[in-house]
């Protein structure tokens, strides 16, 4: 999983809206009106303020129509490339203008995802180049995507390493299990409002191929916005998000809280976030 927790929080918090009140479920009590769904709305800027020191992190999104071209946050930048079929085929992650990692995405003749390769540049602690990870789709339906992960070098990835099972709900990633486990290590819960990312072209592909990157933003949510993220790792942790929504049912602002089973944090407010659209 991606190591940069700040980037995780920045995009997870993207679930806000501009009502006068908010609740954990993402539903307005007593409001049975039909949800407005404007497919032209795109997130333009995410402004996150860290509570402990009031440091501000700004993420800027650049588009060509609804195709995401780049995201910039300080010295970090993620770029997206597309083929002649308008499919996203490469994601590149830069730090201080230096390429640190990239993902190659491949499709079959029907434009269905077949595999994606994660290439992390540099050397490991043994002075060797990092392995290339090739995640191959072995099964896919409306509820589950199964991946077999192979490792190797740039020329070939023939050594089987582990399995990934991705659970889906309403086109959102709802759980991720690794290796032979049938229990999700990561569990995601969502609201029922318009997702901040839902109108980005190929967001379902971008969601999937960035689940294990080291430098890229993590794109939580597709149709809806993240309410809770539970990490069932060695120490169980839980991040939860409170949102406010605008008249079109898109997030406008949010608060991020965190807890852990070791008692290090207990529902601690970490960030406040503001979302701006174009």
Could you tell me the residue ranges of all domains in the chain?
5-21+41-277
SS3 118: strand
Q: How many helices (H) and strands (E) does the chain have?
A: 2, 16
pLDDT on residue 56: 97
The number of C-alpha atoms within 13 Å of 197 and in the hemisphere containing its C-beta is 27
- Residues 227-236, buried b or exposed e (16+ Cβ, 10 A)? bbbbbbeeee
Q: How many CB atoms lie within 10 A of CB 110?
A: 6
Does the pLDDT of residue 262 top 90, yes or no?
A: no
Q: How many CB atoms lie within 10 A of CB 200?
A: 22
Does the pLDDT of residue 24 top 60, yes or no?
A: no
The two three-digit tokens of residue 181, written as one number: 């486990």
Whether 13 contacts 225, CB under 8 Å: no
SS3 10: helix
The CA distance from 176 to 144, in Å, is 10
The two three-digit tokens of residue 2, written as one number: 């991606």
The two three-digit tokens of residue 34, written as one number: 């039909």
Give the mean model confidence (pLDDT) for residues 251-270. Answer: 86
pLDDT on residue 29: 38
Left (φ > 0), alpha (ψ -120 to 50) or beta: where does 12 sit? alpha
pLDDT on residue 235: 66
Give the mean model confidence (pLDDT) for residues 29-40. Answer: 54
Residues with Cβ within 8 Å of 190's Cβ and at least 6 positions away in sequence, in order, are 26, 169, 170, 172, 174, 221, 223, 224, 225, 226, 227
Does the pLDDT of residue 28 top 50, yes or no?
A: no
The CA distance from 83 to 90, in Å, is 9
Does the pLDDT of residue 182 top 90, yes or no?
A: no
- Strand runs (DSSP E) across 141-184, as ranges? 144-152, 157-169, 172-178
Give the mean model confidence (pLDDT) for residues 112-141. Answer: 94
Query: Sorting pLDDT into bands at 50, 70 and 90, what band is 266?
Result: confident
The CA distance from 275 to 41, in Å, is 12
Q: Average the pLDDT over each of 30-34, 123-127, 147-151, 204-208 and give the range with the smallest value.
A: 30-34
The two three-digit tokens of residue 272, written as one number: 């406040």
């Amino acid at each position: 999983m991606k190591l940069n927790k700040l980037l995780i929080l920045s995009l997870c918090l993207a679930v806000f809206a501009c009502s006068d009140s908010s609740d954990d479920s993402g539903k307005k009590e007593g409001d049975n009106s039909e949800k407005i769904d404007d497919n032209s709305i795109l997130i333009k800027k995410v402004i996150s303020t860290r509570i402990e020191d009031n440091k501000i992190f700004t993420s800027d999104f650049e588009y060509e129509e609804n195709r995401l071209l780049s995201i910039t946050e300080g010295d970090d930048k993620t770029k997206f490339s597309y083929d002649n079929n308008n499919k996203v085929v490469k994601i590149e992650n830069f730090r201080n203008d230096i390429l640190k990692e990239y993902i190659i995405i491949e499709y079959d003749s029907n434009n269905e995802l077949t595999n994606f390769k994660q290439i992390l540049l540099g050397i490991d602690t043994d002075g060797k180049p990092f392995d290339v990870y090739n995640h191959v789709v072995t099964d896919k339906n409306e509820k589950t995507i199964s991946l077999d992960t192979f490792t190797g070098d740039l020329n070939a990835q023939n050594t089987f390493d582990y399995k990934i099972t991705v659970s889906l709900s309403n086109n959102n990633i709802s759980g991720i299990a690794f290796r032979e486990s049938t229990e999700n290590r990561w569990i995601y819960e969502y609201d029922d409002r318009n997702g901040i990312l839902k109108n980005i072209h190929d967001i379902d592909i971008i969601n999937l191929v960035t689940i294990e990157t080291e430098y890229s933003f993590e794109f939580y949510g597709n149709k809806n916005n993240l309410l809770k993220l539970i990490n069932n790792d060695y120490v169980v942790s839980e991040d939860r998000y409170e949102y406010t929504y605008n008249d079109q049912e898109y997030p406008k602002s949010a608060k991020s809280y965190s807890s852990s089973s070791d008692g290090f944090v207990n529902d601690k407010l970490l960030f406040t976030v503001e979302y701006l659209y174009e």
